[in-house]
Amino acid sequence: MENQKSYHMSAEAFRRLGYRLIDWIADYQERADEYPVLSQSQPGAIRAKLPPHPPQQGEDLQRIFADLESIILPGITHWQSPNFFAYFPANTSGPAILGELLSAGLGVQGMLWATSPACTELETHVMDWMVEALGLPQQFNSRGQGGGVIQDSASSAAVCAIIAARERINQLHSNEAGCDGQLTAYASTQAHSSIEKGVKIAGIGRNNLRLIEVDVNHAVIPEALEHAIQADIAAGKKPFFVSATIGTTASNGMDPLPQIGAIAQKYGLWFHVDGAMSGVAAICQEYRHLQEGLHLADSYCTNPHKWMFTNFDCDCFFVADRKALIQSLSILPEYLRNKATESGAVIDYRDWQVSLGRRFRALKLWMVLRHYGIEGLQYHIRRHIQLAQEFAAWVRADQNFELAAPAPLNLVCFRHRGGDEINQAIMDRINQSGKMYFSHTKLHDRFTLRLCIAQTRTERQHVENAWQLIKHTATQLSGKA
Ligand SMILES: Cc1ncc(COP(=O)(O)O)c(C=O)c1O
């Protein structure tokens, strides 16, 4: 047979480029603080630098490095900068990146146990490790009725929880016949928008989501929840799902899980708890009280891809009764039938999520847990919290600023006493400077600054610089300079 031509990258070229790319990433991580944190790019500027048509002939990928510097980096907001304090973080680390690379290198698609037993079994095992590491209630351990699965995001976890809840109350009927508009779901006014999205995706209808009032600390008021449920029952509706949050996005508000869980039990609602960022703090014993009441939950999620040095995407989603989830999402077309599945002795994670295909995400979590150990993770999480507490103390001590919410962990919500306009101006001016990046929210209808300390390389000096810059900018803007 005639020699076949190949366009594939040779192993040798892959090695050369790969080593260089790892060097590039290592350098980037070390100098991430040298870039303007918030990209200064204007809309369309990146595309304008790219060729309008795809290359007809392949190119030498060595050229990619020049393009990275000149085209891509100007359009990057540097989430890995130690001066990144915005939103909730998406931190990463060496072991996580290597795990991600390994996942791509193995190229496994783990939809079924049979399509790569290690992909499934490592995931189950690492999720049980997470139950232990975070001190989660045993109902989430796969050795009982429950278990964990890695989802791409907390949003997907919410969708799965809502669908499982819908099918539980409707005894799998809505999977067959669709929803009848009678189900009602509950979350606080401070719940993440993913709950609303999940309710829409699951066909519940946004009008059937009740957003329950919160107290002065942005935690849901249990009596208001119960009243809403009772009113719906009286109106002939079917309450079926309630979500609570450990660490709301806007202000790190902590919902009272024991009370909400008790109400969920009383009225037969599925109780989902969203600990997207803050749940990770439970790796330290002293923050476990924040998940008190979690034993009442039907499902729980927390994101190592936010605050546990595991690059996006990695959401740990746990259910107390895996059967309820699997029955809701299970499909078995002929082409996926196999002996292992039919034996009932294995987990097929395609039945635990929306998509069929799935990446080998457990590798990066495994690498992170093994590299840091619980001790290393505790050290860095405690450090972030300690730095945030110092920042909060500086705010408290400054007569021009005030705290806008309790700061139980690593998020500080604060504001200049001069009103919305100056707070907005402080944030805009600083973010445009590229020196650091932080974000805002509205609390009690007032513009509030948020500083979240969770970057892998953030140290005291970065937090100190941030505070000095905020104070200095405030002085300039208030005309007192
Ligand atoms: C409390 C909370 N829940 C859910 C999410 C959604 O996370 P994901 O991006 O993993 O869907 C966020 C994102 O910041 C969040 O803060």
Rounded average pLDDT over 33-39: 95
> Cα–Cα distance between 51 and 285 in angstroms, integer?
53
Q: How far is CA 386 from CA 31, 80, 146, 275, 454, in A?
A: 24, 20, 35, 20, 11
The residue whose CB lies within 8 Å of the most ligand 1 atoms, and thus the one to mutate among 156, 192, 280, is 192
The residue whose CB lies within 8 Å of the most ligand 1 atoms, and thus the one to mutate among 195, 249, 314, is 249
Task: Give the nearest ligand 1 atom to 247 CA.
Answer: 1
pLDDT at 298 over 50: yes
At 258, is the secondary structure helix, strand, or coil? helix
Distance 306 CA to ligand 1 centre (A): 9
Residues contacting ligand 1 via CB (< 6 Å): 88, 153-155, 192, 194, 245, 248-249, 274, 276-277, 303, 315
Rounded average pLDDT over 306-334: 94
Q: Show Cβ contacts of residue 236 under 8 Å, excluding neighbours closer than 6 positions.
A: 182
Sign for the CA dihedral angle at 175, 181, 186, 188 comes to: positive
Which residue's C-alpha comes closest to atom 14 of ligand 1? 88
pLDDT at 442 over 70: yes
Distance 88 CA to ligand 1 centre (A): 8
> Where does the pLDDT of residue 162 fall: very low under 50, low under 70, confident under 90, or very high at 90 and above?
very high
Task: Give the nearest ligand 1 atom to 245 CA.
Answer: 1
Task: Give the nearest ligand 1 atom to 155 CA.
Answer: 11
Check if the beta carbon of residue 90 is closer than 8 Å to that of residue 78: no
pLDDT at 339 over 90: no
List residues bridging with 440 in a β-sheet: 449
Which residue's C-alpha comes closest to atom 7 of ligand 1? 154
In order of their start, the domains of the chain are 108-359 (3.40.640.10), 368-477 (3.90.1150.10)
Rounded average pLDDT over 429-446: 96
Share of the chain above pLDDT 70, in %: 99
Distance 366 CA to ligand 1 centre (A): 22
Task: Give the nearest ligand 1 atom to 87 CA.
Answer: 14
Per-residue pLDDT tens digits for 373-391: 999 999 999 999 999 999 9
Per-residue pLDDT tens digits for 120-137: 999 999 999 999 999 999
Which residue's C-alpha comes closest to atom 9 of ligand 1? 153
Per-residue pLDDT tens digits for 99-118: 999 999 999 999 999 999 99
Rounded average pLDDT over 350-364: 96
Task: Give the nearest ligand 1 atom to 157 CA.
Answer: 11
Task: Give the nearest ligand 1 atom to 248 CA.
Answer: 1
The residue whose CB lies within 8 Å of the most ligand 1 atoms, and thus the one to mutate among 151, 201, 248, 274, is 274
Distance 26 CA to ligand 1 centre (A): 28
Per-residue pLDDT tens digits for 456-481: 999 999 999 999 999 999 999 987 54
Q: What's the pTM? A: 0.96
> Where does the pLDDT of residue 337 fall: very low under 50, low under 70, confident under 90, or very high at 90 and above?
confident
Distance 458 CA to ligand 1 centre (A): 22
Q: Show Cβ contacts of residue 70 under 8 Å, excluding neighbours closer than 6 positions.
A: 49
Distance 418 CA to ligand 1 centre (A): 31
Distance 300 CA to ligand 1 centre (A): 13
Rounded average pLDDT over 290-316: 98
> Cα–Cα distance between 132 and 125 in angstroms, integer?
11
Task: Indicate the Cα dihedral angle 339, 341, 344, 347, nearest 10°.
Answer: 140
Using DSSP bridges, classify how beta strands 411-416 and 401-403 pair: parallel, antiparallel or unpaired: antiparallel
pLDDT of 481 reads 45
> Where does the pLDDT of residue 335 fall: very low under 50, low under 70, confident under 90, or very high at 90 and above?
confident
pLDDT of 1 reads 58
> Where does the pLDDT of residue 77 fall: very low under 50, low under 70, confident under 90, or very high at 90 and above?
very high
Mean predicted lDDT score pLDDT of the chain: 96
pLDDT of 480 reads 57
